Structure formats: C-alpha cells, structure tokens
Chains A and B, each alone.
Chain A
Amino acid sequence: MTNAWLAGSLVAVVAGVVGFFVVLRGATFAAHGVPLASFAGAAGASVVGVPAVVGLAVFSPVAAVAIGLLGRRRRSDVVTALVVAAMLGLGALFLSWTVEYASEIYALLFGEVLGVTGTEVWLSAALTGAALLAVATLYRPLLLSSVAGEVAEARGVRTARLELLFLVLMAVVTTLAVPVVGTLLMFTLMVGPPAAARAFVRSPLAAMAASVGIALVTVWLAIALAYETTWPIGFFVGIAGAAWYVLARVVAARRR
C-alpha cells in the first residue's frame, strides 16, 4: 500500500509539471496519442515475451519522434492521428497473437497502482527526477516558444528541436507512468489538473504548482476510494480529472 501512495504521488508530480506545458502548447492530442501508441509496444512485448515496460520504453519515444518529425511541415493533429492509427493497428495485430495476457493488457490501460512493487517505485523516482531536471533546464525557452514561437526563434531558440525534445520528454513520462496508472489515466492526469489550475492562478510557476497540487489530491483520493470500494482506480481518476475542470470553469465564470 505504501508503494501505491509513493508511486501515485510521483506520477502526479510529474504529470502536473509536464502537463502544464502540454496544455500551454496545445499538445493534448499528442499527449493522448503517445501513450496510446506505446500501448501497442506493450502488446508487442508480451508477444515476444519481454516485460511490458520494455515495449513501452521502445515504442513511446518512437511514436513521439515520428509525430514530431512528420508534424514539422504538415498539420500536426493529422500526423498525430495517423501515427496513433498505425500504432493501434499494430497493437491489434499483436493482441491477436496473445491470449493469456488479457489481464496484463487491462492493467496497462487502466493501471494497477495497488500492485506496484518496490523496484517500480525506485524506477519511478529516478525517472521523475530526470523529468523534473529536464523541465527545469528547458523552462524559459520552452515557455517562450509555447506562447510566441517566432519571437523565441528570433532570439535564437531552436524551436523545432525543442518541440522534439518536449515530445520525447512526454514519452519518457508516459513510460514512467503507464505501469502505475495506465495509458488512459496518464492522459487524464496530464490534462485535467493543469487545465483546471489555470482558472485559479495567473503566473506560470503558480499554475505549475497548482497543477501538481490538484494532481496529487486527485491521485490520493482515487487510491483511497479504490481501496475502500474495490472499484477500479481508473474510474476515480478519470471522473476527478473532468470534475476539477468543471469546477475550475465555474470558478472562472463567477469571477467574470
């Protein structure tokens, strides 16, 4: 149980921080697409008989780089959709070759935070540290290029390279989180809390902090409720993610 709290908290922190940029850059579709695509990698891993995490670790950066490179000259939403479609097709094929891993696949979609091992917590902690370090390093150019791309470029920021780096960072974060909360929930956590946070505060750092806070409360609540009710944790995270956003909109509307 302690492992679940620790792993869940690490995922919430990193989803809150990276999610801030996901929402600011309007990259929510890619944030949805990269985990979905990497899910195909997990299915493939079970076919060849290696741990699912290995499949995730290979497929998610590949999907991120594909989206980043192909999206440079074309509309990135179309490119994202096609990359995800291709990966899902591959995943369907892999799934058809395996029968006995259905429960493992389910866990990848919705997570099994209650079954997290001590080793996985350490791995999560290391990846969280790396992701936070990366965001701290890229913070200013990433912020500027997110809101005013040409201005950033005129100042010498290599925006195309930065976009690619950011997508890979998102992929790493996904790899970290999927075994814990699943592909679908990671997306919820990377979009719901950061989007809600914007209604409450105005500055970038405050928004990032609020986003982490909301993600933490969401995960803690979901773990506690899942433990009490034995309902899937995914249900609670998904509902909470959307509920925060509705609450935030109400707050924003009343302020106007």
Chain B
Amino acid sequence: MPPVRVLTVEGATVTFGGRRVLDGVSFSVEAGEFVGLIGANGAGKTTLFRVVLGLLKPSAGTVRHLGRRVGYVPQKVAIEPDAPLRARDLVALGLDGERFGVRLPSRSRRERVDRMLEAVGAAAFADARVGTLSGGEQQRVLIAHALVGQPSLLVMDEPLANLDIKSGHEIVELVARLAVEQDLAVLLSAHEMNAILPHMDRVVYLAEGRAVSGTTGEVIRSDVLSELYRYPVKVLDVDGTVVVVGGHDVKVR
C-alpha cells in the first residue's frame, strides 16, 4: 500500500510588503511521519504554518489535506488566571468547539475527554483553571485539545520554546508515542532540536523563502546546518546520542 500523503504543499508563495517570505515552497507529509521544520528566526516557519492551517491565503500555490482534520497547538495561549475555564473544558472544545448550537453533556464525551487528559498526563490538573497552569502543563492541555478530535495531522509551532529540558523531552516523547498509537502525522517547528532528533523521520528546512526537505541523516550534519544558519553549527555524537550545538568555540574532541 503506498503511503498516504496527509499534507501536500505545492509552490506556496507569500509576500509581505514586497518581500517574498515564502517563495514557491513545496513539501509533503505522509501518514505516521514525524517531520521537523527548522529555519532561522524570520525564515517563515510560522507563516508556513498559517498557510498550512488555512489562516493565510498564499498568493500562489496550493495546500491539500487528505484524511481527517488538522490539530493545531500554538506556541502559547494567553488565558488569564481568573478565566473560568478548566483544562477539561478546553479539551472538550477540541471535540466540536467550532459547531453552533447547544450540546448536552454526555457520558461518552466525558469519557473521551478523561481518556485524552490521562493520555497526555494532565489528569492531575483536569479541574484546574487553564490560566493558572504552568507553560508545560498548558502545553499538555493544548495537545489534548488538538488530539481529542482524532486528527490525521498535528501541527505544533515551537512546542519546546517555554519548556525545561525534562518537560521538553516528555512532550516530544508523548507526541511521538501518540503519533504511533493514533497513526498521526506530526509537523513541528523547533529551534532547539536535540529533543526531537531521536523521533524525527524527516526535516524540512526553510532558508531565503525556499524549503528543502531530507531525511534526518541528510540534513542534521555540520556542513548543512552551518550553511542554513550561516553560523558555525556542529553535529556531535555524545555517547551514542546525536546533539546539535552552535558557536565559534565548539571544538570536537
């Protein structure tokens, strides 16, 4: 059976004030794949996500989705601590938050929400107000919101930006595990790539409006990354774990 392409972007072009931020970007994501999107600040990662999610219409090019819906986890949400919205309320909105009309609570809905909260490790704070949770806890709740509707593609913009090393690894492992369990494709952007390296099947990198994609082994190399960031970047093997570090002072022993 040929792999299903859940997302196909062809020739996406976006211009802001005469500047081409995306210039004919093409790539695709297959079912069950874990794809990392990398690129320097201002390279157009968030812009590309907005195109993929249909929030921004490209001046040229097409975006095709196959399969069920798309789940989206923004980098962060600004919810005040006082807002009367529990973690479980936000996850329940993931079931059908876009629909009009009244929906009576039901046992099966409640169970789906509970199971999802459990799966992301958010059961302990299910009844807390979302606004009072820490960045990492909110991240889990947002992931549950995105996944409870059983999407075929999960899009995450810099999910690791506010997380400490442990939380970052836990979130990535969680998503990688759920991706396998739910046959989910994952597309996420990250500056700090060490946490995602062990799980990433493919890398799409953005530079000067163009996208190049390759396997992790092809892209995560000192010469390729140094060229991409125009800055010395080294890919090292530390006790069997591949790590990426940057800076003029990095010496390889």
Contacts and interface: CB of A to CB of B under 8 A. Distances in A.
Contacts of B29: none
A139 B77 contact: no
B217 interface: no
Interface string A135-174: 0111111011001101111111100000000000000000
Contacts of A197: 84
Given A144-B97, A154-B72, A136 B102 contact: yes
A203 B86 contact: yes
Nearest to B127: A202
Contacts of A201: 84
B130 interface: yes
Nearest to A148: B77
Nearest to B102: A136
A20 B73 CA distance: 26
A101 B35 CA distance: 70
Interface string B143-159: 00110000000010000
Contact of B83 (A147, A153, A155): A147
Contacts of A157: 97-98
A140 B86 contact: no
A70 interface: no
Nearest to B55: A153
A44 B155 CA distance: 53
Interface string A182-209: 0000000000000001110111101100
A130 interface: no
Please indicate which of the listed interface residues A140, A197, A198, A206 has the most CB atoms of chain B within 10 Å of its own CB: A140
Interface of B (DSSP majority class)? loop
Interface residues on A, range: 20 to 34
A24 interface: yes
B39 to A, nearest CB: 20
A215 to B, nearest CB: 16
B102 A139 contact: yes
A141 B100 contact: yes
Contact of A207 (B84, B101, B127, B130): B84
Interface string A23-66: 01000000000000000000000000000000000000000000
Contacts of A150: 55, 72, 74
B74 A140 contact: no
Given A151-B145, A207-B84, A136 B72 contact: no
Please indicate which of the listed interface residues B55, B97, B103, B127 has the most CB atoms of chain A within 10 Å of its own CB: B97
A139 B99 CA distance: 9
A198 B82 contact: yes
Contacts of B89: 203-204
B180 interface: no
6 contacts: A24-B83, A140-B97, A140-B98, A151-B77, A154-B155, A204-B89
